A and B are shown apart, each in its own frame.
Chain A
Amino acid sequence: MSLEKITDPRNMKHWLGHMETDYRYTLGIAGERFLNEIKENARIMGSKCKKCGVIYVPPRMYCEECFEKLEEWVDLGINGEVYTYTVAYLDREGKRLAEPVIYALITFGDAFGGLVHKLGEVKPEEVWIGMPVEAVFKPPYERKGSITDIKYFKPIQ
Chain B
Amino acid sequence: MSEVAIVGVGCVGFKSIMPELSYKELMFEAAVKAYEDAGGINPRKDVDAFVTCAEDYWEGFSIFDEFVPDQLGAVLRHLFTVSGDGLLGLANAYMLIKTGHFDIVVLEAHSKASDILTFYDIVAFAMDPVMVRPLGGNPYYIAGMEMNRYLCETGTTIEQCAQVVVKNKRNALANPYAAYGANITLDQVLWSEPCFYPLKKLEISPLSDGCVVMVLASEKVAKKLTDTPIWVEGVGWATETPNLETRDWGRAVYTELAAEMAYKTAGITCPSREIDFVELSDLFAYKELQHLEALKLCKYGEAGMLLEDGIITKDGDLPVNVSGGCLGMGYALEASGMQRLLEVVLQLRGKAEGRQIPDAEVGLAHTWRGIPTATGAVAILSNIKE
Contacts and interface: CB of A to CB of B under 8 A. Distances in A.
Interface of A: 1-2, 6, 9, 12, 14, 16-17, 19, 23, 25, 27, 31, 35, 56-58, 64, 83-94, 101, 103-105, 112-118, 124, 129, 146-148
Contacts of B138: 88, 90-92, 94
Given A84-B152, A90-B140, A115-B245, A146 B134 contact: yes
Nearest to B132: A116
Given A88-B141, A101-B137, A94 B120 contact: yes
B245 A58 contact: yes
B149 A116 contact: no
A19 B115 CA distance: 13
Interface string B241-271: 1011110010000000000000000000000
Given A105-B249, A116-B131, A92 B145 contact: no
Contacts of B120: 92-94
Contacts, number: 116
Contacts of A114: 245
Interface stretch (B188-196, B213-221, B350-358, B375-383): B188-196
Given A84-B145, A92-B124, A117 B17 contact: no
A61 to B, nearest CB: 14
Which residue among A58, A91, A92 has the maximum number of chain B CB atoms within 10 Å of its CB?
A92
B245 A116 contact: yes
Contacts of A101: 137, 141
In the A-B complex, the 5 residue pairs with the smallest Cβ-Cβ separation, listed nearest first, are A86-B144, A84-B149, A113-B245, A87-B197, A12-B19
Contacts of B136: 92
Contacts of B197: 86-87, 89, 124
B160 interface: no
B148 A85 contact: yes
Interface in B113-127: 115, 117-118, 120-121, 124
B20 interface: yes
Given A87-B144, A92-B124, A105-B244, A58 B131 contact: yes
Given A56-B246, A86-B141, A88-B140, 8 more contacts: A14-B19, A31-B130, A86-B147, A86-B198, A89-B194, A94-B138, A114-B245, A115-B245
A114 B197 CA distance: 21
Contact of B20 (A1, A91, A112): A1
A64 B135 CA distance: 26
Contacts of A84: 145-146, 148-149, 152, 249
Given A113-B245, A147-B135, A86 B148 contact: yes
B246 A89 contact: no
B72 interface: no
Interface in B307-358: none
Contacts of B149: 83-84, 129
B121 A92 contact: yes
A72 to B, nearest CB: 18
Contacts of A27: 130
A27 B129 CA distance: 10
B90 to A, nearest CB: 28
Nearest to A114: B245
Nearest to A84: B149
A86 B145 contact: yes
B137 A57 contact: no
B60 interface: yes
Contact of A105 (B60, B130, B245): B245
B141 A103 contact: yes
Given A89-B193, A89-B194, A83 B249 contact: yes
13 contacts: A14-B115, A35-B130, A56-B246, A58-B245, A87-B197, A88-B195, A90-B140, A92-B120, A92-B136, A92-B137, A113-B243, A129-B152, A147-B135
A27 B128 CA distance: 11
Nearest to A28: B130
A135 to B, nearest CB: 14
B107 interface: no
Contacts of A23: 129
Nearest to B117: A16
